[in-house]
Structure 1
Amino acid sequence: MLFEDTYLTVKQPAEATFSDRGSKFTAFVYPILSAADVKPLVIQLKTAHHKANHHCWAMRLSTDRSVFKVNDDGEPSGTAGRPILNVLLSKNITNTLIVVVRYFGGKLLGVPGLINAYKTVAEEGLKAAGSEEKVSSDIYSVGFDYLQMNEVMKIIKEENITILQHEADNTCTFQMSIPRSKVNQTINRFNSLNKIKVAYQFSN
């Protein structure tokens, strides 16, 4: 499978507010790296806004943008989480969570009104957060003998690999970020060296 080299995500956490007929909607936007990041952030907002009527959210993950989840939190099905997700899809943003906190203002907005409110505030939240392009990478660890340092560094330099962490002693271990498009050729080059241990860790 061919992967794109880059993906769009949000630059920073941000928030935005939208009001309609007394109801107040506040979007909280967060950059995330895994599904495990979602629950603590939602709990944090539910604690901070415990008097709000709804805490609806959508998240999108992975650099091939294939992982997503929505939650309407009591709003009519399809009127909250899905419009929020659709904003992430339309802007091609991934690795992002948007939670919209709603305080009910006493007047029903109806399905079109709800969809418009959640969509609008999610768009404003993304605008406030800004977006940035990141390189799709796989993180690998490489273990080797100190005497092989020059050979390993030659590959790292030629393939333009980023070293994230390193331990150098008689035996060395590097944690490195390899652009997705270069993974196969880089790993093959490492494996062509004797006694090198290469292990996949995670993607970002």
Structure 2
Amino acid sequence: MNPDVDPSRPLLATIAGPCEHEIDIKKSRFIAHLVPVRTVSEADEAISSLRRQYWDARHHCVAMVIGPHGDLQRSSDDGEPSGTAGVPMLEVLRRRQVTDVVAVVVRYFGGTLLGAGGLVRAYTAAVSEALDRAAVRPRALRRRMTVHAPYAESGKLENLLRTWCDANAAVFLGVDYAQDAALRVAVAVGDEPLLAEFISAATGGQTTAHSGELQVVESSA
């Protein structure tokens, strides 16, 4: 299990993929980008990429939250008046309880000063509206289980497992092919016997489910 995960603390949600949203206020363009990341280095790479893409913009303001419980948090006003961009953006991520995401809002100045209050509202709205459009994925702590099957039977067993997962709040993780097919499933802690019984019944006792580590998984719920 990830050593940064504390089973006694709630897990934060994350986003399934990058999201972009633009708002215009008094001719200033605020282009919000949300990028899923796992580390600060990944976040820095995403920021650098957006800086290159929008090289002619005046500001590239940043907020990031990283870690299963959102313990690592950083922000930058990138030249805007102190406290008017990065911190408001970060507060949106905190309030919406998302992690492993970096928010970058690119601003093209439109010629009209917005004032401190106007900037706070603009950067807050840009990130909040982007999150409204993002595919947010809740996370949960699950037990990884592995079922080994011959290649010839793996397709049928995969379909059965996917149906079982849908009915039991479990997540089908995929299939690894080596000497046989290893089908991976993440089940709620305590549901391990249920999966074992299902597999035994479905295969006439020819196949068993092997328990593995606890891991954090995402769902589409």
* Aligned-partner SS, 1:28: strand
1:135 match: 139
When normalised by structure 1's length, the TM-score is 0.68
1:66 match: 71
Matched, 1:16 2:21: yes
Structure 1 residue 81: deviation in Å?
0.5
Structure 2, unpaired ranges of 5+: 1-6, 145-169, 190-211
* Aligned-partner SS, 1:50: coil
Distance change (3 Å), C-alpha of 1:139 and 1:107: farther
Over the residues paired in the alignment, what is the CA RMSD in angstroms? 3.9
* Aligned-partner SS, 2:126: helix
Question: 2:173 and 2:127 mapped to 1: Cα distance?
Answer: 36
8 Å CA contact 1:137–1:177 kept in 2: the answer is no
The one of 34, 40, 49 aligned to 1:44: 49
8 Å CA contact 1:16–1:26 kept in 2: the answer is yes
- Matched to 1:49, the amino acid is Y
- Matched to 1:3, the amino acid is R
Question: 1:177 and 1:111 mapped to 2: Cα distance?
Answer: 50
- Matched to 1:74, the amino acid is G
* Aligned-partner SS, 1:60: strand
Moved over 4 A (4+): 136-140, 160-169, 176-179
**Higher RCO structure (Cα 8 Å, ≥6 apart):** 1
User: How many residue pairs are counted as aligned between the two chains?
Assistant: 181
8 Å CA contact 1:63–1:136 kept in 2: the answer is no
* Aligned-partner SS, 1:125: helix
Question: 1:104 and 1:111 mapped to 2: Cα distance?
Answer: 14
1:2 match: 8
What is the identity percentage for the equivalent residue pairs of Structure 1 and Structure 2? Answer: 30
8 Å CA contact 2:18–2:36 kept in 1: the answer is yes
Structure 1 residue 13: deviation in Å?
0.9
Question: 1:67 and 1:138 mapped to 2: Cα distance?
Answer: 23
Structure 1, unpaired ranges of 5+: 141-159, 183-197
The one of 88, 94, 112 aligned to 1:83: 88
8 Å CA contact 1:49–1:101 kept in 2: the answer is yes
Q: How does 1:92-107 map to 2 (within 5 A)?
A: 92-107=97-112
- Matched to 2:9, the amino acid is F
Structure 1 residue 7: deviation in Å?
2.8
- Matched to 2:92, the amino acid is V
8 Å CA contact 1:26–1:121 kept in 2: the answer is yes
